[in-house]
Amino acid sequence: MDVPHPFDEAVATVKALAPAVRSESVPVDDCLGRILATEAVARIDVPPFDRAMMDGFALRVDGELEEGITFSVTGTLAAGDAPTGSPPAGSAVRIMTGAPMPADTNAVARFEWCEESTSSQHGTTAASASVRLLRSVRAGESVQPRGQDGGAGTVVLGHGVRLAGAHLSLLRTYGIAHLSVAKRPTCSIIVTGSELCRDTEALLAPGQIYGANDAYLSGALTTDGIAVTECSYVEDSRDAIRTALVKAVASSDFVILTGGVSAGDYDYVPRVIADLGGQIAVRRVLMRPGSPLVAATVEGAVVFALSGNPAAGFVQFETLVRPVLRQAMGWHDEPFPASGRLLHTVKQKPVRHTRILRGAARIEGGVVVVDTEMAQAAGQISSFASANCLVRLDEPHVEAGTVLPLRFLDGALSSR
């Protein structure tokens, strides 16, 4: 029997199996949730011209203009208009927020800083003939210079960023139409177990239970942007598992199996992987729950065989498999990237294994605290409904107040 890997050693070993990140060019509007494979570089200056930041009057100011000075008004500019030339000396242009500044003007006197006189009526709007300053105006007042937010050729976002809606808005502002992003890997799911019933509307036969592992795995993969090529249920048969695995490795970058991975009479998965010439990198891990785990390569695909126990498989996927899948997308993810303060003392039997507990984390007084007083048995999955993190324990006895490594499951914390 292969020697089991300590948890950290297993993490390093499975990460080494991840294929190199591949990239493709994608229209920016289709990049939500994708990972930048290269830097995104601005195509234009932002803003692309000097623009008014307030409604008012565009003026030429050398240093500072004192209050009381009067200007004639020679025209109006709205956002989207193009200036036609320089206003005459001693004149002003009525201007709206976002409009380009006329040539040879460099300040905006806000409407509330001015007293207007009108000469004619056009419909319901009076045209200003002149305007008098009610307060002094400095050069640059209420004007955003061209390129202040960023110039053409500057790096807008670095590689490795997972793109959210705000990022896409930013990129479009800089005139970026296409992005080089990491290709999304493909993954097949194979759920093994003759006792499993896939149809939850069907009545269970004696000895059967409803299958559930694929629901979580499919949801997690889809959330991360990984295409699920196929999801199949197979009985505990060496031939059936072999047929399903041969098909899966031919069509997917990754394959995740659940069940049949331990050392029982009907645990065929490790033997099938070996039959197919698979290179097994990990056979067992010193972790609880989830010690039986196989990580291998078969015909160029990365294969993970997880426990069929939903709670153990969930922990294995989150801490060992998901970071590898994300790595293949150019997304850096560590098994336990966060930390929190333990609310209650934990006492366990001494073992060599790294224990991974379910926890409920929240913010109290500006500090992340975590409660692990919930069902932790490998056969109990109901507590996952109230858990929002996993907690790593490397010692059997941990006192309340100890800061421990966390992995958040839903990315959200609540405050009491």
CA distance 43 to 175: 5
In-domain check, residue 267: yes
In-domain check, residue 151: no
Mean pLDDT of 362-385: 90
In-domain check, residue 332: no
Query: Which of the residue ranges 109-113, 140-144, 216-220, 262-266 would you say has the lowest mean pLDDT?
Result: 262-266
CA distance 158 to 49: 25
Q: Which of 278, 300, 327 is the last residue of a domain?
A: 327
Looking at residue 390, which CATH number applies to its domain? 2.40.340.10
pTM, two decimal places? 0.85
Do residues 306 and 374 both lie within one domain?
A: no
Mean pLDDT of 82-103: 93
Half-sphere exposure of 137 (CA within 13 A, CB side): 30
pLDDT digits (tens, 9 = 90+) for 148-194: 999 999 999 999 999 999 999 999 999 999 999 999 999 999 999 99
Do residues 217 and 176 both lie within one domain?
A: no
Do residues 314 and 217 both lie within one domain?
A: yes
Q: Tokens standing for 184? A: 């999304």
What distances in angstroms separate CA 89 from CA 70, 86, 92, 105, 356, one per listed residue?
12, 9, 9, 10, 75
CB 57 within 8 A of CB 108: yes
Is pLDDT of 416 > 80?
no
What is the pLDDT, as a whole number, of residue 410?
Answer: 72
Domain that holds residue 374: 338-415
Q: How confident is the model at residue 385 (pLDDT cuts 50, 70, 90)?
A: confident
Q: What are phi and psi of 268, to 5 degrees?
A: -90, -15
Do residues 39 and 178 both lie within one domain?
A: yes
Residue 40 pairs in a beta bridge with: 157
In-domain check, residue 149: no
Residue 72 pairs in a beta bridge with: 91, 130
Contacts of 12 (CB under 8 A, 6+ apart): none
* Structural domain total, the chain: 4
Query: Which of the residue ranges 253-267, 281-295, 296-310, 358-372 would you say has the lowest mean pLDDT?
Result: 253-267
Amino acid at position 192, single letter: T
Do residues 298 and 209 both lie within one domain?
A: yes
CA distance 329 to 160: 9
Q: How confident is the model at residue 119 (pLDDT cuts 50, 70, 90)?
A: low
What is the pLDDT, as a whole number, of residue 156?
Answer: 96
Mean pLDDT of 330-336: 93
Q: Which of 116, 144, 172 is the last residue of a domain?
A: 144
- Of 44 and 383, the structure prediction assigns the larger pLDDT to 44
Is pLDDT of 127 > 60?
no
Do residues 92 and 234 both lie within one domain?
A: no
Share of the chain above pLDDT 70, in %: 96
Q: How confident is the model at residue 414 (pLDDT cuts 50, 70, 90)?
A: very low
Q: Tokens standing for 345? A: 């003392």
Q: How confident is the model at residue 413 (pLDDT cuts 50, 70, 90)?
A: low
Report the helix count and the strand count for the chain, using DSSP H and E: 7, 31
Q: How confident is the model at residue 415 (pLDDT cuts 50, 70, 90)?
A: very low
Q: How confident is the model at residue 265 (pLDDT cuts 50, 70, 90)?
A: confident
Peptide bond between residue 47 and the one before it cis (omega within 30 degrees of 0): yes
Do residues 318 and 203 both lie within one domain?
A: yes
Looking at residue 110, which CATH number applies to its domain? 2.170.190.11
In-domain check, residue 333: no
Residue 58 pairs in a beta bridge with: 93, 108
Q: How confident is the model at residue 118 (pLDDT cuts 50, 70, 90)?
A: confident
What is the pLDDT, as a whole number, of residue 397?
Answer: 95
Is pLDDT of 59 > 80?
yes
What is the pLDDT, as a whole number, of residue 120?
Answer: 52
Q: Angle at CA 243, nearest 5°, toward 304 and 280?
A: 30
Is pLDDT of 52 > 60?
yes
